[in-house]
Structure 1
Amino acid sequence: METNKIKQLHEFGQSVWLDFLDRMLISSGQLKKLIEEDGLRGMTSNPAIFEKAISSSPAYDEQIKEIASRQQDNEAIFYEIAITDIQNAADQFAAVFANGDDGYVSLEVSPRLAHDANGTIKQAVALWHKVNRENVMIKIPATIEGLQAIRKTISEGLNINVTLLFGLERYEQVADAYLSGLEDRVAAGQPIDHIASVASFFLSRIDVVVDPQIEAKGYPEMKGEVAIACAKQAYQIYKNIFTSDRFMKLQALGATPQRVLWASTGTKDPSFSDTKYVDALIGPETINTIPMETLMAFKDHGHPASRLEHNLDKAIYTLEQLKKIDIDLNSISNQLEKEGIDKFNKPYDQLLQAIQMKKVFKIAAM
């Protein structure tokens, strides 16, 4: 029997999470099958995923009708629906969670709060208590305001998935926010041995923006190399931070590293392999959250092997070459952060509109 390629990733120390969630996946037994047969170890959601799920499926209609009979606020309705799915998915991963460092399911705060630190903290804490599952992570974007919220929510004992992370400089700030939150909690005399966090580095979108600039400057050989170079450098930063004396003091009290998670790993450019961002970034103590289509592609024709620390010289050269041709990655990461928030705000607004339409239709049909 052929070895399952997804399971093989675990042999190299990488966990596979699914970047997808909907009610039918859970109720049909498909999620259970992915966990048991393919070794799936976690799941992430975002406003775009929920918009597609709720807008396109009748599976949510009855719950919308029931909630609408007592609650008219569409955002409140959405989060009640989302919490149901997150709880059910978290329960599916309970055995994975009990046996190791994985088994987490992520729920995102409203993208409208991306630049509101206090609003993010308030909603993150509220969602954490409402979901009421140890194996849930609350997603907070890596904006400047988000950094404040990350530190505070970590200090409050929440599990946090830092999302919309595009740049190396911001990644270091994210790791610092995590460590600072743990230190704040220790100073308050609270335990830190149950807290988990990941830093979700978005990849394919980097190449979407950078590649046209590279080609325009006459360096086509660098096309498709920048996101992977950034990821490889981020991993080196991760290793330095989480072997530092600062972290060792926290680890002695039970702290775990904030693992890097490769996100946006579906290939956007059809000229690239559909498993490009999975094949290239396999390595220990990392996570890849993979869209369903890419997961199935990797299962069929992926190439499992530890590559995350291969060709580091090439990665360093690529990043140095960008500076020489006046392509500013910090500027690009700021642009991608703004675009990323917009890419979540739009489907979030569409999601609330879809709930309004279903609510009106269902009430009228009663």
Structure 2
Amino acid sequence: MTNPLLELKALGQSVWLDDIDRSHLLSGQFASLVDEDGLCGATGNPTIFEHSMTHDTTYDEQMQQLIAEGKNTQEIYEALAMTDVRLVADQLRPVYELTDGQDGFVSIEVSPYLAADTAGTLTEVRRFWHAIARPNLMVKIPSTPAGIPAIRQALAEGININSTLIFSIENYRQVVEAYLSALEERSTQGQDIRHIASVASFFVSRVDVLVDQLLTDQMNAVSDLVRQQQLRALQGKIAIANARLAYQEFKRLFSGPRFQALKQRGARVQRPLWASTSTKNPAYHDVLYVEELIGPNTVDTMAPTTIEHFREHGRVRFSIEDQITEAKAALAALEEAGIHYDQFTQQLQDEGVQRFSDSFNQLFQCIDNKRKALGGRQ
């Protein structure tokens, strides 16, 4: 039997795991995903670390040691997270070497508390980059108004960046501009750009979660059955349409003379990364967002359950450029219905930052409780 996860490689898509869990790293479960399923990257975020560190007892020994050393709550979190990220980076290092730096990356995210602080974000990015000290590290920076200049500066300094929490195509253009201008700055100064890696993380399923609810609200507000049917037909369609149109923008931005000049000096494209591809609505196919966004020069970060489901019954086809005309029409129809693209994509980014902040709060509270129980300092 063929493995659909391995078939994705033939169409130019890389699979990264949207999870970091120490027990999986130590048990060999992560390594088996690399060896058997072709996994070639991993990403962490505050929500992932909050879940892992509060439910996985393999962290307890190191946590107790750090508490005994008098580390404060943030120092404990960072020590635990950096240990995990180094373990992942080392297990993915053969992939990084084999692909000449194209894959084999692990991402760690800056504190969501810094989402509106450019200088603070840069300070943390530099600290993570130098402390973890792995060439196959990417540091995640939210693509907020304060994050965009931090993304550009970090890339200009030669730090690999995962630009995350992208929901709108305009925000995506800003991320690409930051990437290209950073490479141009380095190139002008005679610095190497061949080994700088970056991805642009476009969040997918969360779009449908919000838009479907907004469409339901609209349907409840009208009595015209035909109009209700027109609105219902848009449900479950907007997230994929949005990502497919973003991919069209990716092709445009990385095919012109501006990038070609950088490519001649060894630059790589900044690949679109599809994040949040697990299906949230049980009425939809459980691998919908994976099957419909397959294409070259893309990355899909899948949660463990999504990887299992796709391995079992995923269907692989070159789908990323299907129904582009229909995608444009769907977004136009949404606008006509009074659901404004700029508004809901901004809401999603704001909510994304808040979710990560909430996860940080919960994680820090858990660590703080353990630290206090052993008499540690604040």
Query: How far apart, CA to CA, are the structure 2 residues paired with 1:251 and 1:7?
Result: 28
1:1-366 counterparts in 2 under 5 A? 2-100=1-99, 101-215=102-216, 216-217=218-219, 218=228, 219-362=231-374
> Identity of paired residues, percent?
43
Counterpart residue number, 2:223: none
- The one-letter code of the counterpart of 2:267 is A
Q: Secondary structure at the match of 2:317?
A: coil
Q: Which amino acid aligns with 2:177?
A: D
**Does the 8 A contact of 2:16 with 2:301 survive in 1?**
yes
Q: For residues 198 and 166 of structure 2, what CA distance do their matches in structure 1 show?
A: 14
Q: Hey, what's the Cα distance between the residues in 1 that align with 2:190 and 2:111?
A: 31
Shift of residue 42, structure 1, vs aligned partner: 0.4
Residue identity in the other structure for 1:244? G
Q: What number of residue pairs does the alignment pair up? A: 363
8 A Cα contact 1:12 1:284, kept in partner: yes
State the SS of the aligned residue for 1:305: coil
Q: Any idea what the Cα deviations from partners look like across 1:262-283, whole Å, max 9, x if unmatched?
A: 0011111110011010010011
CA contact (8 A) 1:115 1:144 kept: yes
SS in 2 for 1:192: coil
Mapped to 2, the partners of 1:213 and 1:319 lie a distance apart of 14
- Could you list the per-position Cα deviations for residues 310-355 of structure 1 after superposition, in whole angstroms to 9, with x for gaps in the alignment? 1111111111212222221111111011100010001101111111
**2:67 and 2:374 in contact (8 A); partners too:** no
SS in 1 for 2:359: helix
The one-letter code matched in structure 2 to 1:31 is F
AA partner of residue 116 (structure 2): H
Matching residue's letter, 1:221: A
C-alpha separation in 2, matches of 1:155 and 1:24? 36
Q: Equivalents in 2 of 1:193, 1:59: separation in Å?
A: 38
Conserved? CA contact 2:140–2:162, under 8 Å: yes
- Residues 65 and 363 of structure 1 are in contact (CA less than 8 Å); yes or no, is this contact kept in structure 2? no
Query: How far does residue 211 in structure 1 lie from its aligned partner after superposition?
Result: 1.1
Question: Which amino acid letter does the alignment assign opposite residue 173 of structure 1?
Answer: Q
Distance 2:204 2:103 in 1: 22
Instruction: Quote how far apart the aligned CAs of 1:363 are.
Output: 5.1
Give how far 1:246 is off: 0.9
SS of residue paired to 1:243: coil
CA distance in structure 1 between the aligned counterparts of 2:144 and 2:256, rounded to whole angstroms: 25
TM-score, normalised to structure 2's length? 0.94
Report deviation, 1:245: 0.9
3-state SS in 2 of match to 1:40: coil
**SS of the residue aligned with 1:209?**
helix
Q: SS at the partner of 2:146?
A: helix
- Equivalent residues of 1:64, 1:77 under 8 A apart: yes
What's the Cα RMSD here? 1.1
47-56 or 59-68: which moved more? 59-68
Q: Retained in 2: the 8 A contact 1:263–1:289?
A: yes
Q: SS state of the match for residue 229, structure 1?
A: helix
Q: Is the 8 Å Cα contact of residues 73 and 368 (structure 2) preserved in structure 1? A: yes
C-alpha separation in 2, matches of 1:194 and 1:344: 30
Give the Cα separation in 2 of the matches to 1:359 and 1:62: 13
TM-score normalized with structure 1 length: 0.97
How far off is 1:238 after superposition?
Answer: 0.3
Hey, what's the Cα distance between the residues in 1 that align with 2:27 and 2:137? 22
Aligned with 1:133: secondary structure?
A: coil
User: What SS does structure 1 have at the residue aligned with 2:81?
Assistant: helix
In structure 2, distance between residues paired with 1:254 and 1:79: 34
Unaligned runs of 5+ in 1: none
Q: CA deviation at 1:116?
A: 0.3
1:195 Cα deviation from its structure 2 partner: 0.3
The letter of the residue matching 1:43 is A
Structure 1: which amino acid aligns with 2:269? Answer: P
Contact conserved, 1:86 with 1:106, CA < 8 A, in 2?
yes
Judge which range, 350-359 or 268-277, deviates more: 350-359
Q: What is the rounded CA distance, in whole Å, between the counterparts of 2:170 and 2:363 in structure 1?
A: 33
